[in-house]
Amino acid sequence: MARLGKRGRLPGIVDVAERAKVSPATVSRYFNDPDIVRYRTRERIRKAVEDLGYVRNRAMRSMVGGATGSIGLVIPTIDNAIFSEMLQAFSSALATHGRTMLIAAHGYDLAREAVLVHSLSEQRVDALALIGLEHRPETLAQIERQGIPAAMLWNYRPDQDWPCIGFDNELAGRLAAEHLLALGHRDILFATAEERSNDRAADRRRGALDAVRGAGLPVPEGRRIVCPYDIRMSKELIAGTLRAGDRPSAIFAGNDVIAQGALFAATSLGIRVPDDLSVIGIGDFRGSDAFEPGLTTVRIPARRIGQLAADALVETIDWPEADFHHEHCCPLELIVRGTCGSPSAAG
């Protein structure tokens, strides 16, 4: 006879997780793809299942909730490498739970995002993941009306109303700027993305400028430019600034796409990196280490965010009674390569 779990009900997967001292997501992987779970962990879960008398009900979710097995992910762009590693990790993690991903891109247009969220809810996705923390009211109202589990990814601020899985973008900007300051740079060009519809870019810029102002340095308007997440266009915009004379000693780039544009701009003008100009990015996207010299950058834990997001959404779908509120601020890491040096090197 099966033992009763919490609240006088038959034992569920959360009870198994608690007994085995693992997360519910690990229990789900044990059932869906056991080979990826370590042997000792599998044995603990197996024993917990046996002790509790847990019986898996594969049909329950679809019979009760009309679930489709699909989770929607709405991102700003699929044009470049910004979200590629997170997407791959998210998709792979969902597969271990027997789920699939539906992806849509809104082109940094939050009005378009609202339309896409409505469309995905009509397709009866089991959950939704959105990028960033700031969205149009109608987007959030649609999610609440439909009762769809949702999580906000890629940015983190404490005490959010929605599950939040990301990193501190303000800290990312501050880390990059502080690295340039520590090397002795006092004249820095800030090349960042358009901040409308992009709370991540706004937070990074704020963190970087706060670091510079905290060092007692001014940030003239002429040292702030807006660049799209496009290598060619960033190259042209930054090259135009470098040609104008009174060249800065360093460039703070809001992400690695803009940083790559800066490196190409410097090469096109015969400016040596890092001898004549230092460049730092944010992201550590695939290929950032392949430049000569390799790009110094702040590493975003993209794969970790994708994995955590998939696990969190599956847990929320499968065990709503567990009252999960996922909040994860993933650590950042400064990756020092070859594109930053002391401004005295130019002398």
Note down pLDDT in tens along the chain; length 347 residues: 232 223 345 577 788 889 999 988 888 888 877 888 999 999 999 898 888 877 665 444 444 445 788 999 999 999 888 999 999 999 999 999 989 999 999 999 999 999 999 999 888 899 999 999 999 999 999 999 888 999 999 999 998 989 999 999 999 999 999 999 999 999 999 999 999 899 999 999 999 999 999 999 999 999 999 999 999 999 999 999 999 988 999 999 999 999 999 999 999 999 999 999 999 999 999 999 999 999 999 999 999 999 999 999 998 888 776 666 689 999 999 999 999 999 965 44
Please give the Cα distance from 126 to 136 (Å, whole number): 21
**Three-class secondary structure of residue 334 per DSSP:** strand
AA identity, residue 222: G
Write down the residue that tokens 């939704």 correspond to: 128
Task: Find the farthest-apart pair of alpha carbons in the chain and give their distance in angstroms, rounded.
Answer: 82
| Buried b / exposed e along 175-186 (16+ C-beta atoms within 10 A) | bbbbbbbebebe
Assigned CATH topology for domain 70-167+302-331: Rossmann fold (3.40.50)
Q: Which CATH class is domain 13-56?
A: mainly alpha
Cβ-based burial of 289 (10 A; exposed 0-12, middle 13-18, buried ≥19): middle
Helix-strand-coil split of the chain, %, nearest 5: 45, 15, 40
The segment(s) of the chain belonging to CATH 3.40.50.2300 are 70-167+302-331, 169-300
The segment(s) of the chain belonging to CATH 1.10.260.40 are 13-56
Ramachandran area for residue 91 (φ above 0: left; ψ -120 to 50: alpha; else beta): alpha
Assigned CATH topology for domain 169-300: Rossmann fold (3.40.50)
Whether 275 contacts 346, CB under 8 Å: yes
